Amino acid sequence: MKPRQVPIGISAFTTLGLVTGILLVVRLWLDSHLELMYNEAYYALWAKHLAWGYFDHPPMVALWIRLSTICFGDHEFGVRALGTLSATAETALIYLLSWHLFGRQSEAIFAALLFCAMLLISAGAIIIAPDTPLIFFWSIALYALVRIFCGGGSGWWWLVGIAMGLALQSKYTALLLGAGIVCAIAVVPRLRHWWRHPMPYVAGALALAIFAPVVAWNYEHGWASFGRQFGRVQVDGLSLRYLAEYLGSQLGLLTPFVFVLAAGGMWLALRRRDDENGDASLLLVSLVAPMLIYFLFHSLHARVHGNWVAPAYPVLAVLGAEAAFLISSFSERVRPLITLSRHLSVPVGVSIAGIAYLQALAAPIPINPTVDPIAVIAGWSDLAASVDSFARREGAAYILTSSYALTSEMIYYSTRAIPVVQYNERLRWVSFEQPEPNVLSRPGLYLADANRDLSNELTSRFSRVIKITEVSRARHGKQIQRYVLYRLESPVAPILSGNATVRGRSRSSKA
């Protein structure tokens, strides 16, 4: 199959351009008007202390934020803007994936619209996370593979290798992209000749070379990040406890009608073997099959977070559009559901995203803030200002915490005149400047979530641990979470737990 040329038809792009343009403007506006959720604040701190790895993830999200803040400023908008722009660029990649594979402009436009309608993509466009660069580079690798499938030259394998390496620098989930490529070459007849060509192996070697600094960082830090993430692979027993949660989360994050179309597209791909487009659909399914199968199995013994499957969403959008345009291929009992999903998937998905955006901004739906998942982005600056005020009043030299989430928000939104230090999980902060012992020898404060108060652990480290007050994080006057403040005096034992160990030398985190 020869690579297709993208046709130019202004009227055909009107709806897609209008939807993506409005979403881009709204998302950029929200970027600057919503506080950072705790993971975003955590990654924003990484961006100020660049390294080849961190306790939780590879370094790409930190570099992504650093580049974004250089371009757009060191504030909420600057932290998120590059991610928002990349989500819009992914919409164009979805269009191109569908067009090159199936050659129908209307279907390609619909695939791009389905991608816009997915709730996880809508939310992810305004929340910076390792998934942000992961999905972007994964989509580029998919595009290069589609060009190879459509008859492009072996040079496209260079782009596959680079994109896959950068995806691995984003999140370890990208290993499943490599498994998908192997699966595609094995399953799709048109790709099997690549087994005998050196370029797929060159692409794999290039990806591993790009990923090598992350391996070196893990070696230097006792395999910390590998141990944390790959430790989840361990199976202690099978159960159906999390399976329904996994499927339910995908139903919600894809939105129900998109979920139906994506499932229909996968079903068609597995049974259509009698035409040229059957191979194209099979290619898409084989690329995501290892990921979907692995997480299905994982859900039989542990929780699968909804965002873990996000890299499969570009493929699911293309397969969903194929199902929507081949309604006659379904049985008569299924056609009404596919038809209904085709009509409602985009308007319902975009409407759900709009409601979520409005709730994040103004909270018009009267949900109890303590159970509202969107409340994680509210009240942090006021909380930091309140704690700063108490710290100055008490003459505190530092603020101690026991949660990386609270630590990150406090560091990001505080005046930074008083250092904020997490006394446990010190390996999270190994790339950061360590607190001076003379600072920690002076009186300080301990700030804790009222539901995760670990002050009893500090009674053996200080001669006096005195509760002084409670403060709240609130939104529009409604309390979201209570926090407890303690005054700490006269340390009698090392305050910080453990050592941040680097192979060959020790960076002590005791004081």
- Each residue's pLDDT tens digit, 290-340: 999 999 999 998 889 989 999 999 999 999 999 999 998 899 999 999 999
CA atoms within 13 A on the CB side of 387: 39
Same domain, 433 and 476: yes
Residue 4 pLDDT class (50, 70, 90 cuts): very low
Question: How much is the pLDDT for 361?
Answer: 87
Q: How many distinct structural domains can be found in the chain?
A: 2
Q: Is residue 6 part of a domain?
A: no
In sequence order, which ranges of 376-466 are alpha helices (DSSP H)?
380-394, 404-413, 437-440, 455-458
| Cβ(511)–Cβ(435) below 8 Å | yes
Question: How much is the pLDDT for 288?
Answer: 95
Q: Which domain holds residue 117?
A: 11-362
Same domain, 132 and 258: yes
Same domain, 438 and 474: yes
Q: Is residue 296 part of a domain?
A: yes
Same domain, 344 and 476: no
Same domain, 416 and 475: yes
pLDDT of residue 14 exceeding 90, the answer is: no
Which of the 8 DSSP states describes residue 441?
A: T
Q: Is residue 51 part of a domain?
A: yes
Q: Is residue 86 part of a domain?
A: yes
Domain boundary (304, 331, 362) is at 362
Instruction: Please state, for a pLDDT cut of 70, what percent of the chain lies above it.
Output: 92
Q: What is the mean pLDDT of residues 396-403?
A: 93
Same domain, 267 and 208: yes
Domain boundary (313, 332, 362) is at 362
pLDDT of residue 386 exceeding 90, the answer is: yes
| Nearest partner of 455 among 420, 427, 487, judged by Cα | 487
Q: Is residue 398 part of a domain?
A: yes
DSSP string covering 168-200, please? Answer: HTT-GGGHHHHHHHHHHHHH-GGGGGGGGSSHH
Question: What does the pLDDT look like over 128-176, one tens digit per residue?
Answer: 999 999 999 999 999 999 999 998 889 999 999 999 999 999 999 999 9
pLDDT of residue 504 exceeding 90, the answer is: no
Q: Is residue 367 part of a domain?
A: no
Same domain, 235 and 333: yes
pTM of the predicted model, to two decimals? 0.91
Q: Is residue 204 part of a domain?
A: yes
Q: Is residue 294 part of a domain?
A: yes
pLDDT of residue 273 exceeding 80, the answer is: no
Same domain, 81 and 126: yes
| Cβ(318)–Cβ(111) below 8 Å | yes
Same domain, 92 and 152: yes
Residue 11 pLDDT class (50, 70, 90 cuts): low
Question: What does the pLDDT look like over 281-297, one tens digit per residue?
Answer: 999 999 999 999 999 99
Question: How much is the pLDDT for 264?
Answer: 95
Domain boundary (335, 362, 389) is at 362
Residue 507 vs residue 255, higher pLDDT? 255
pLDDT of residue 507 exceeding 60, the answer is: no
